Each structure stands twice: as C-alpha cells, then as structure tokens.
A and B are shown apart, each in its own frame.
Chain A
C-alpha cells in the first residue's frame, strides 16, 4: 500500500507492506534513521516521534496510521549544525554514552518541556520512565533536562 504523510514539514510517500510500522517507514523507506529500533514493543522509547503533535513510539504505530497525518522526528529539531537547547544540554551534561537511546530521550524531553517548562526531578523521572538507557544510569540525563529547562526558561518561547 502507498502511505503519504507530512514528515518533518514535507509531504512524503512510500509503498510499504500493510503490516509495516511507522518506524520501518521512517528508517527504511524515507531515509530517516535517527529514530532507533531497540525493542519493537514500545518498552524502550528509542523510536519516540510526534504524530500530529502527540508523543508516540513509532514501533507501535502502523505506517498506515500515519497516512495523511503529520510526523515529526528527531531530525527536525534543529537544522544543519545547530542544536536544540535539549540537544545542547545532553552533550554538555554528559548524558550521551553509546547514544542509541539518545534521540528518543531528546524527543521525549523536548515533549516534556513543551508541556511543563519547569518540571521537578520526580516529574522528569516519571515523564522519561518510558525510555530505557543502558549506559548512563540516568543521572546525567536528569542533569541535562534540568539544564535545558533552565536555559529555555530564559528564552522567548
């Protein structure tokens, strides 16, 4: 079947198997491998993207469900060499090790800060508890989200 969706601001279409996931569409048909496949079951959050502004695990959404809708991925957060403040904070705080979970964490953290610009630690932990990281023990990710929140508070929204 042919799926047509607005991906990162651009209408794209691809022919996919009816059972294919949105993650497969993005990674293997549209050349957007930034969202990672680590569990295929919505347990790890590595494939976090926005579907019509809603945070979803792209592995749990059928490609067909994205038809005629708007998808936004980690690749759209900052153009070229620029970094989103959350991305900047992840690098600075040492929240990146192997990095496989990082795009998912960055997307989920941006989503959190859009909803709650000044989350406390418990809120950050809860909001990001659907994202698994095997390297960092989460401490530096917590630091990064705090840092990003602080910096974004000082900027026009």
Chain B
C-alpha cells in the first residue's frame, strides 16, 4: 500500500515535510511550560540544600509562612503519599526528610502570589543542618570506610561481561586511561509546568517532559492519588536530551496546587536548572586492547566507572549501555568488561543523549588510534578491518541481525570533501583558533585530522517490553477527508510530531493531518529517548492507520458489492481517493458517513536481559556513525578551533531528510561541546558554574560547517526500515575532535573536555592508579522499591482500560 502513496501524497514519508510546529515557534506563539498562565495562579519556589551531605535537625518555616503574599510552605511531612520517587528505583525523596545527599536537593517548597515574593520568602526558610562528611570522588566512594551515601552502600549496579576467553593472548597490546566530565544538557527551556487542582480532588499537570506516563507513575503515588486523578498534559518542550526523563518540579507543583486550591506554576531559573535535572555521568575508563600483528582485535579489557551522584535515576540502564558498547562497533572475540555505577554526594546523574555510549566511545576510539600507531597502520584501516557487519557477534554474544553498515559509514565519511587549506599569508583573525581573541598572526597554528566510529541501541533493551500506543481517526470535513492522530509521545524539538503526521499522510493518502494534544487520556507512548520514537510511535501510527484503512476498504467493497460490482486488485489510498489496482474507485469522503477510528500498540521484537556472564540478546536495533574532524590548534596559546566536521550516519531510512540532517548537525554540536568546553565543575559536590556565563555551550562561532552523508540500508522488521538518529552524532563527535587535537599537538590528551593547559602541555595527562577492584557479581540488589524495568514501567505499557 505504501509504495503507491509515497510518491503521491505531499509531505509523506521520505520528504522533508515542513515542521507541524514551525509556524507557531517562529511567531513566538508556541506555548512552552514556562509560558503557562492561569487566573489566580501562584508561583512555586524550591528551597534547596547548600550542603553535599548533612543531617537536618529542624526546619523553621514560620518567617516564610508569615511573609506577605505567601500561601503555603511545605516540607517532607506534607508529602501526602509515598515520600520517594525515581525512574527505576524510588530512592529520591520528594522533599528531604532527615538528610540531604547533594547540594541542590529540595528541602522545602512554597507558593506565593508573585515570583519575587516567592524568592524572598524562600530565603526566610531556616534549616538547621548538621554537616556530615561527604564522598565526592567515584574511586574514593568504592574504598572501604568511605562515607556511605545510602544504607545499602555506594554501588547502584555492576555489570560484568565475560566474552570468549578473557585470557586470550595477543601479539600487540595497548593500554590507556580516559576521563570524561559531567556534561549538562543545557536545555534552553528550563524545567517548567503548571498544576491545576480539579473538582474531583485530583490534579491536572501541564508539564514539559519526555514521557508523560512514567511521570504519572511517579507523581500519583507521592500525592496519594489513584492514577486516573492525576492527568498529565504535554506543555511545549524547550529541548530535552535526557534532562526531562526524571521528575523535577512535577510533584512539588501538584502538592502546592492541592494544598492551596489554586493553579501553581513552577519555572526554574537557569541556575536552578543546573540543580534541577540529572547530568551526563562523568566517567573513568581503563582499557587494554590486544591485537594480532596484522591488526585484528583479539582481546579487550575494559573497566568503566560512572559517577552517578546521590540517587539512582536511570543509572542502572546507563551503566548497562556503557558496558555493552564498551568495545565499539568492532568484532571482538574475547573480552572482559567490568562496569560500576557508583553513588557519591555529587548532583545526581542519569540520562543524556547517548546514554552511556559517549563515555566509552571516547575511550575505545582513542584505543583504536593507539593500536593503529603501535602497528604502524592507518587509523581508518584498523577500524575497517575490525568493523562489525550483519552476522557479527557482539561481546554480549548477540548476533547482529539487522543492518550494520559500519564499513559503509566509515568509507562514506572519509569520502566527504576536506576543507580547504588556509591560503598563504596573513589570516583573518576571525578564522584563527580563539577568533578575535587570538593576538598572534597564526604562527603557532597546527592542523590535525581525527576520526571516530561508534554505535548505540535504538529503543529500550534488556528484556524490556518496549511499546507505544496511538489512536487514528479519519473523518469528513468541509475541505475533504482529514486525519487526527492521538499519541502521548512527547515532541521535544527533534521533529517527532512531524514524523507522525508524515506516517499518517503516507499510510492514508490524506494530506490534512492534525495531532490531538499529547496527554495521559491515551496509553503510554514510552519515552522520547533512546532514539526510539520514530520507530516506536511511528510504528504505532502506522498500525493504527492500517487498521483504519482496512475498515475503509471493507466499506468500499461492501458498497461495490451492493451495487453488483466486484473490485479487482489491491485497494490503495492516494490523494484522498481509493484506488483498485491503481485505478480510482471513489473519494475517501464518500465512505465517511461515520468516522473511522482505530487504536493500536506497537511492540518491537523481544530482547533479553544480560545473564550472569553479561551475555544475552539485549538490543533491538543498532545504529552506527562515523565522524571525521579537522581542527586547528594554536600551540602557543592553547586555543583550538574545529574547522570542519564530516559525518556519515546509518539511519536505515530517512523519514524526513532535513530533520535527519538537523539531528546530525545538532548532535555534533553537543559532542563538540564535550570535547572543548562543556564541564559541570564541582568543588566538594558544589556546582561552581551553574550559569550560561560560566558553563559554555558552543556558539555560532564555535560550530564549523558540518558535511554529512546518510547511509540508507533499511532495517528489517521495523516500520519503513527507519532507525533513530537522535544520539549517534553526539557520541562520535567528541572522540573525533579529540583525536584531531592529538594529531595536531602530538599530546596524549585523555580527558574531555580538553583545556588550554592540556593543549600546550602545562597540564600533564590525567593519571590514575590501577583500576579499582570490581564488586562481587551478581551482587545483592538491596535498593528499596525497585519498580523499574521489572514491573512498574511494564505495567504502564499495557493499554489502559477504556
């Protein structure tokens, strides 16, 4: 059916259809969470811990409560239901009870008539803290006698992967140690939402999020309300990148609204946003690669530590990803991976674009370059020689069944045009590393080229029954047939809602498609993360459209039969018409006396959890990317500039080519940020740079041209053969840029972001002792209230009862 309509219906699958939310966004009319407003609305404010670890001896709210304009001040004792929440483990207090575990942990909340009143009142909440010793170093946290973050210890999860013979000998060994910093998603739209108390004693929460249903699963029990009384609606989302996977202001706004009986809006400031969401886990990685003399990988050892800060968030899944991708998109016959996600008194870490893969990609790609150097081989050749392909076996023993064009992405990437060499003579200062700030004439500028290859899973893994629901309704309007698509899937900026509209246009041959506002009135669509929604919610809309079409065709055949005609050939839809064997039969409109509606749920094929040896068919679909970076370094000033980024991506099939390019370019920018400037700087658990003045993200002047190529080898068994594309660019950009910096300087840069001191050799490479011993596996799983991948989220994947 789709083949005929692909070419005919404008704005369908495969076209660069215009964004459905583009016009309101350019006019400033799109309503983000921070734009919400209601009559009688109050402003919520959060009081946060100034200490990394302290006992709370008492809280005095009298002065805040009596401050004119304040309507409520609430503490942990006021949480109506369960006192803790969390994505996978309910370990995080809604409001700190007797203890705080990181700087920025919420202790009290209040609501006032004006934002300035709320800010001043918050300063009048007096908390009596007894400061306790804190552990803020991930290796320190594993040592005996370290302060314990939780009564169940400082390890959330440990993954051990034993593949083949980890003692297998090799001709050549290379060894390295690598670190990546804590990175902030730096979503431009801060955490924001508004809770509105309802007549039934429940609450309506309008919130910028990535997954409405998993939010409700956490919000409702804490409010002591049944889920049906907690209705979530998607507010406009100003970027996500993982920052909105965890609950932030949700429960607080609802508590204040239910207490005051008035709508309550909470919008975080930029500073508060740095405390209000989880970050990318900082990493320490030890690796040893063994190969034959002709460059075939034989054996890889990896020890991975991720600092998860004070709470679990999605850390167990992040460390599992880091472990399974630790050796890169290469055939590795023997491997041992030990990966630990640690608790410290740092701010919590969880999901960020790439989800564990960027940290290990930084390490394994540096190792591949080291190996190439040790063997005297070209870095691209070492990678090509070991590249995974369909039929390869991963280190978890999984046979790669889908498309795996690793060789193709490397070759296409390297074939992209190189930037021009700078002309002889004086250069435009703007084009020098450091721009106008570079006062030299470019005498010390050296060019370097680096490459990196990486891969990551699409959709959820490890036995999780990932699914998405959608409802599609076709009806008649004065202007012809129209389609309404209802999905709870969050559009976070990546263009998903446009993709869903494109799918409906293609499947039904009707151009006029609108979206019902996303809410919890329909079943879960799962999270807008893991690059999964094009496949999952795209798949759900495709299934629902096909069910609608089936009913439409039944009506067409029935009417033909009652007129004594038999329709020959396959029925299809295009341009608002029904076709039989390609010949028009009639207008779709003629069959819509009653609208047609269908609701369907898409599941991807089942996966398995890792077993005790870290083996299993864990991932559904894998996507691959290669990146080349050309950089210039001023060796005297320690300034760097990326001249060009060249990317080739395996996307299966591009549903919206312009949108795919946008993901590649934007993802590369985020990877460039981690390579050169982005680091949440911590001092005793305190964030020192919680502002855009001090936490730098790439500007227009930092971003070079990005040239990209897309490899389209359709993935079997998924809608249109499309893989996701949201994350891969981010994970390969960082190692490619740092490789180019190494090539330019000859220095063994082993930490991202690279700082000026590193580039001119003022700072030595980060050093480490031997890797810390691995915890016992399988260890006990003593963290309370586990409700994540086993039960809770599975539960909400089932369609809601009507």
Contacts and interface: CB of A to CB of B under 8 A. Distances in A.
- Chain A CB within 10 Å, residue with most, of B16, B19, B240, B492: B19
Contacts of A135: 239, 493-494, 662, 666
Contact of A39 (B18, B240, B270, B705): B270
A141 B669 CA distance: 13
A42 to B, nearest CB: 9
B591 to A, nearest CB: 32
B669 A75 contact: no
Interface stretch (B26-34, B212-220, B227-235): B26-34
Contacts of B190: 37-38
A134 B697 contact: yes
Interface stretch (A64-72, A120-128, A149-157): A120-128
A111 to B, nearest CB: 15
Contact of A20 (B116, B236, B428): B116
Contacts of B188: 36, 38, 44, 46, 98, 100-101, 132-134
A132 B18 contact: no
A41 B693 contact: yes
Interface residues of A, number: 60
B659 interface: yes
Interface residues of B, number: 62
B543 to A, nearest CB: 27
B28 A33 contact: yes
A135 B703 CA distance: 12
Nearest to A38: B188
Interface in B489-520: 492-495
Nearest to B706: A139
B662 A140 contact: yes
B21 interface: yes
B629 to A, nearest CB: 14
Interface in B667-720: 667-670, 691-693, 697-701, 703, 705-706
A38 B269 CA distance: 8
Contact of B189 (A34, A36, A77): A36
Nearest to B669: A137
Interface string B177-197: 000000001111110000000
B779 interface: no
Q: Is the interface of B mostly helix, strand, loop or mixed?
A: loop
Contact of A33 (B35, B239, B700): B35
Contacts of B23: 83, 87, 91
Contacts of A39: 270, 691-693
Given A44-B692, A126-B701, A132-B699, A96 B25 contact: yes
Q: Is the interface of A mostly helix, strand, loop or mixed?
A: loop
B238 interface: yes
A100 B186 CA distance: 12
Contacts of A136: 662, 665-666, 669
B25 A132 contact: no
Contact of A97 (B495, B705, B706): B495
Contacts of A90: 22, 26
A43 B661 CA distance: 27
Given A34-B27, A43-B692, A98-B239, A134 B187 contact: yes
Given A99-B238, A137-B668, A38 B189 contact: yes
A94 interface: yes
Given A132-B188, A133-B188, A74 B34 contact: no
A124 B705 CA distance: 13
A48 B704 CA distance: 24
A19 interface: yes
Interface in A53-105: 73-75, 77-78, 83, 87-88, 90-92, 94, 96-103
Contact of B28 (A19, A40, A103, A122): A103
A102 B189 CA distance: 11
B111 to A, nearest CB: 16
A34 B18 contact: no
B693 A36 contact: no
B61 to A, nearest CB: 24
A87 B662 contact: no
Contacts of B705: 139
10 contacts: A41-B691, A73-B28, A96-B22, A97-B662, A97-B666, A99-B26, A102-B25, A124-B700, A131-B700, A136-B665
10 smallest beta-carbon distances between A and B, as pairs:
A34-B28, A98-B493, A99-B25, A100-B238, A137-B665, A137-B669, A91-B22, A43-B692, A74-B28, A87-B26
Given A33-B34, A78-B27, A102-B25, 14 more contacts: A28-B37, A36-B34, A39-B270, A40-B270, A96-B25, A99-B30, A99-B238, A102-B28, A129-B699, A134-B186, A134-B187, A134-B669, A135-B494, A135-B662
